[in-house]
Amino acid sequence: MSVKCQTVINYIEQFAPKHLAEEWDNVGVQVGTTTREVSKVLVTLDVTADVVNEALSMGAEMIVSHHPLIFKPLKNLRFDTSFGALIEKIVLNGLVVYSAHTNLDSAVEGVNAALAEKLGLQNIEILSPDKEEELVKLVVFIPAGHEDAVREAITKAGAGWIGNYSDCTFQVDGIGTFKPLAGSDPFIGAVGQLEKVEEKRLETILPKQNLNSVLKAMLKAHPYEEVAYDVYPLFNRGKVFGLGRMGVLSEETTLGRFADRVKKTLNVQTVKVVGDLAKTVKKVAVCGGSGASLLHKAFFAGADVLVTGDVKYHEALEAKEMDLHLIDAGHNGTEIVILDQLAAFLKERLVKDGVEIYVSQVNTDPFTFL
């Protein structure tokens, strides 16, 4: 069994909406076509030659990565370079590569949420909230007997989510009236005659950014030539998105002990620490990947320590002067925690279609510590 690649993408973008990506980022389809039939998906941090070989060996048609395969605009694509040869292999084997980067960082259950939960933080909040979801209500009128097909189409396209509940809709019975005019091709009734039809009023809620795709799916599934529907703006509070997370440990501990816990929990070879190892820590900020830009956010939020990766010398020096402890567990080590969560999300939604989801077993971290 299989689904169109676009179906997988729709689910990914429910988890990590594309509009959350930073302006400089390149997210979405990197290589391939959304019409490709997909039966196996490989989830990875990076798209490398080893990962592509892994995908091909298991018969996967799609690779979902965190880091974009194509990050900067290409001036050429030479197949006698390592990068060009990688693209050539992907294309010749019909693979689809899709990347969710900074949108996955800012997602409600994204990289930073996964990192905070992995480290056992409690009372977790967003460290740097900067976006809020806009919501709309969609109401559509459907002839009786066709409501299930339309409902399934719009919920698959991204409507009907309320918190941890999917497929949330409401429906009532009613009578619709219409008179087909010259030039029409009515599904029910005849030209020039007033029709009264038993119809269902189906309504649901959806993020504004999903509206176009939901309307497209609705119109395709609806039997009428002209579909009657309404879209209402809502003032309901939507999801809040942002980078980083803040939480507390169940019990205070020393910086040294917590650093050792981070190392073991994230299964990294080493961590770099800024601060007095004997100092007490309880309030913890985290940012997967490269999070030193949140130093001041963490400081003013009252964090005792920031767990992140890719900390530069002068950033570490600044943190030390601020008396903000740092634990650098590496870029890979602080982001790889998201793979299992994303894979589980996709498995739950695609199992009914027989699509298999795998987490890459290739270690793409380029560093070895001696």
154 and 212 in contact (C-beta within 8 Å)? Answer: no
pLDDT of residue 6: 94
Q: What percent of the chain clears pLDDT 90, i.e. is strictly above it?
A: 95
How many helices (H) and strands (E) the chain has is answered by 12, 17
Q: For residue 298, give the 3-state DSSP assignment.
A: helix
- Does residue 365 have a pLDDT over 90? yes
- Does residue 164 have a pLDDT over 90? no
- Which CATH number fits the domain that encloses residue 177? 3.30.70.120
Q: Is 310 annotated as a binding residue?
A: no
- Which CATH number fits the domain that encloses residue 296? 3.40.1390.30
Domain boundary (183, 209, 233) is at: 233
Instruction: Evaluate whether residue 222 is within a structural domain.
Output: yes
Alpha-carbon gap, residue 259 to 328, rounded angstroms: 9
Is residue 163 very low, low, confident or very high in pLDDT (cuts 50, 70, 90)?
confident
Instruction: Evaluate whether residue 324 is within a structural domain.
Output: yes
**Same domain, yes or no: 21 and 100:** yes
Q: Which of 263, 270, 272 is nearest to 327 (CA)?
A: 272
- Does residue 231 have a pLDDT over 90? yes
User: How confident is the model over 190-206, as pLDDT tens digits?
Assistant: 999 999 999 999 999 99
Instruction: Evaluate whether residue 365 is within a structural domain.
Output: no
**Same domain, yes or no: 344 and 322:** no
pLDDT of residue 370: 87
DSSP per-residue string spanning 8-28: HHHHHHHHS-GGGS-TT---E
Instruction: Evaluate whether residue 112 is within a structural domain.
Output: no
Number of domains in the chain: 3
**Same domain, yes or no: 8 and 95:** yes
Residue range(s) defining the domain that contains residue 205: 134-233
User: How confident is the model over 98-146, as pLDDT tens digits?
Assistant: 999 999 999 999 999 999 999 999 999 999 999 999 999 999 999 999 9
Q: For residue 165, what is the DSSP state? A: B
**Same domain, yes or no: 162 and 254:** no
Strand order of the sheet with strand 62-65?
28-31, 96-99, 62-65, 40-44, 356-359
pLDDT of residue 14: 87
**Same domain, yes or no: 179 and 273:** no
Is residue 1 very low, low, confident or very high in pLDDT (cuts 50, 70, 90)?
confident
Q: Across all residues in the chain, what is the average pLDDT?
A: 97
**Same domain, yes or no: 82 and 101:** yes
Alpha-carbon gap, residue 104 to 22, rounded angstroms: 11
Structure tokens at 137: 């209500």
Q: Is 335 annotated as a binding residue?
A: yes
Which contiguous run of DSSP H or E holds residue 332?
helix 331-335
Alpha-carbon gap, residue 33 to 12, rounded angstroms: 16
Q: Is 296 annotated as a binding residue?
A: no
pTM of the model: 0.86
Instruction: Evaluate whether residue 367 is within a structural domain.
Output: no
- Does residue 293 have a pLDDT over 90? yes
Distance of CA 168 to the CA centre of its chain: 20
Q: Is 22 annotated as a binding residue?
A: no
Q: What percent of the chain clears pLDDT 70, i.e. is strictly above it?
A: 100
147 and 167 in contact (C-beta within 8 Å)? Answer: no
Q: For residue 306, give the 3-state DSSP assignment.
A: strand
Domain boundary (233, 252, 279) is at: 233
Q: Is 251 annotated as a binding residue?
A: no
Is residue 228 very low, low, confident or very high in pLDDT (cuts 50, 70, 90)?
very high
Instruction: Evaluate whether residue 366 is within a structural domain.
Output: no
Is residue 276 very low, low, confident or very high in pLDDT (cuts 50, 70, 90)?
very high
Alpha-carbon gap, residue 5 to 350, rounded angstroms: 12
**Same domain, yes or no: 151 and 289:** no
Distance of CA 263 to the CA centre of its chain: 26
Instruction: Evaluate whether residue 111 is within a structural domain.
Output: no
**Same domain, yes or no: 140 and 221:** yes
